[in-house]
Amino acid sequence: MSHEGQGGRAVPWAVIPLFEALKPAERESLRPLVRIKAYEEGAVIFREGEPALTFHFVLGGRIKVVKAAADGRDVILEIMGPGDPVGALAAYEERDFPASAIALEATSLISLPRQEFFAVLAANPMLARGLLLGLTRRMIVLTRRLAERSSRVEYRVARLFLTLADRVGRSEKDGLVIPVALSRQEIADMVGTTQETAIRIMSRWGKDGLVLTTDSGFLIPDRGALEAVPPTE
């Protein structure tokens, strides 16, 4: 279930890195288009194959991006947190969403309708330039992630947990807490390896105190030790 609010109130642009390059006047031109929507845990934001008619950005909460596998499972491709664009590239390219987005917890989004958004962009070249700059940064992140697929599995798993720590982690006395429960199969899917390999790595890391599995997610006692995992043997 979702709840929608109009964009009459101040829009928290600072949460969205994609709009960092915009000037205050350019942001103001977008404000009438903005809708802030609240989603309950488990709510579907959009489904794979639906037309991407809206730009979405996470304001608060967490979203998982999932894709249907050949065996019927939902494979988690990514977990998004505050500031992240969700399906923005599909909306910009005017194509269907390549995966589904589901709220992992109570989540709020900033959403802008694609057609009206593009009309504002057409009238404001500098605004379009700012958006393209933000999308380019996003593409750089995705390209770097693809390049990491050629590195050793342990490094990819380490990068996964470090990314989750940056997006949704919180510091506590025992270390960095990641409040996201992922199965070994989901970890394997997200880094491009087998379930057996993920089980072996997580078991060894648990014994070594590198990443501990908890009932609600994971604990990283020492971030520096995880950052020290080398990309190659």
Phi, psi (degrees; rounded to nearest 5) at 184: -65, -35
187 and 140 housed in the same domain: no
142 and 161 housed in the same domain: no
84 and 159 housed in the same domain: no
Residue 232 lies inside a defined structural domain of this protein:
no
Residue 138, pLDDT score: 66
Query: Which residues of the chain, if any, have pLDDT below 70?
Result: 1-9, 18, 20-21, 130-131, 134-135, 137-150, 233
Domain stop point among 147, 176, 194: 147
Nearest alpha-carbon partner for 18 in 36, 6, 7, 30? 30
Total number of domains constituting the chain = 2
Phi, psi (degrees; rounded to nearest 5) at 17: -60, -30
63 and 166 housed in the same domain: no
Range of the domain at 218: 152-227
Residue-wise pLDDT for 182-198, tens only, equals 999 989 888 888 899 99
108 and 15 housed in the same domain: yes
How would DSSP label each residue in 168-202? Answer: H-EEETTEEEE-----HHHHHHHHT--HHHHHHHH
Residue 74 lies inside a defined structural domain of this protein:
yes
Residue 233 lies inside a defined structural domain of this protein:
no
Q: Is the Cβ–Cβ distance between 153 and 162 less than 8 Å?
A: no
Residue 152, pLDDT score: 85
Residue 7, pLDDT score: 44
120 and 184 housed in the same domain: no
Residue-wise pLDDT for 129-141, tens only, equals 766 776 676 666 6
Domain stop point among 147, 174, 198: 147
| The one-letter amino acid at 59 | L
- Count CA atoms closer than 13 A to 122's CA, side-chain side: 6
114 and 23 housed in the same domain: yes
Residue 3, pLDDT score: 54
**Which sign, positive or negative, has the C-alpha torsion 75, 220, 86, 44?**
positive
